[in-house]
């Protein structure tokens, strides 16, 4: 039994946990009912549950702040990587086209006959086509193909008996695809032949 504020109570039973006991000799300050320091409370009490929930809340808020910071850093890193990828993807394209520019410069600086000049230009054209093919660029098939509005842009409809109805007769400007994506449609003349 212990005497607290003039009342006699059994130890640990019916004590007001918020009330502090007077300091004993040589103590630095008041102690709580358990005597373990100002924040110690008996387990299973509402105050203990409240302290536990506060500690849990503080821990979760700290984890949330860290997760938000990590997410923001990851977002910045991803943005920088995407920008670097765009910058250096064009670098590869430019590198593959530089030999073609060199060939054009050599052709323009050469004094030669028209036939040699034409064969030189044809060689440069082939070199450019090869460079584009290595990058995955392919021409859109046109002449002789059925008209496809996904890949062809009809400029003119020509009435004729020499081709099937809606067949591409002539390609005015070549269309190109990058792998499966259309870069630009082919500009074409399309046959109009209701009899076929």
Inside any domain, residue 161? yes
For 111-151, how does the pLDDT look when each residue is reduced to its tens digit (9 = 90+)?
Answer: 777 777 777 788 888 888 888 888 788 888 888 888 888 88
Q: What is the domain-level CATH number for residue 187?
A: 2.30.22.10
Cα(193)–Cα(172) distance, rounded to whole angstroms? 20
Task: Give percent above pLDDT 70 in the chain.
Answer: 76
Look at the pTM and tell me if it is higher than 0.85. Answer: no
In the numeric block, the tokens 């860290």 are attached to 66
Number of domains in the chain: 1
What's the number of CA atoms in the CB half-sphere (13 Å) around residue 62? Answer: 6
Residue 156's domain comprises 140-196
Q: Where are the beta strands (DSSP E) in the chain?
A: 2-4, 7-9, 137-139, 152-159, 168-173, 176-178, 181-184, 186-192
């Amino acid at each position: 039994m212990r005497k607290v504020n003039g009342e006699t109570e059994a130890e640990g039973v019916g004590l007001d946990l918020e009330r502090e006991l007077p300091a004993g000799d040589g103590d630095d300050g008041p102690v709580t009912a358990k005597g373990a320091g100002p924040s110690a409370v008996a387990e299973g009490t509402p105050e203990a549950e409240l302290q536990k929930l506060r500690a849990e809340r503080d821990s979760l808020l700290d984890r949330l702040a860290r997760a938000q910071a990590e997410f923001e850093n990851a977002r910045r890193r991803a943005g920088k990587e995407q920008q670097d990828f765009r910058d250096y993807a064009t670098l590869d394209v430019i590198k593959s086209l530089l030999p073609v520019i060199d060939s054009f410069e050599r052709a323009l600086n050469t004094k030669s006959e028209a036939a040699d000049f034409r064969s030189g230009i044809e060689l440069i054209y082939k070199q450019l086509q090869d460079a584009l093919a290595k990058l995955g660029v392919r021409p859109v098939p046109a002449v002789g193909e059925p008209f496809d509005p996904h890949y062809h842009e009809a400029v003119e409809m020509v009435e004729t008996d020499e081709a099937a109805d809606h067949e591409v007769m002539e390609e005015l400007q070549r269309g190109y695809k990058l792998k499966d994506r259309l870069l630009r449609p082919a500009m074409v003349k399309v046959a109009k032949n209701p009899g076929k």
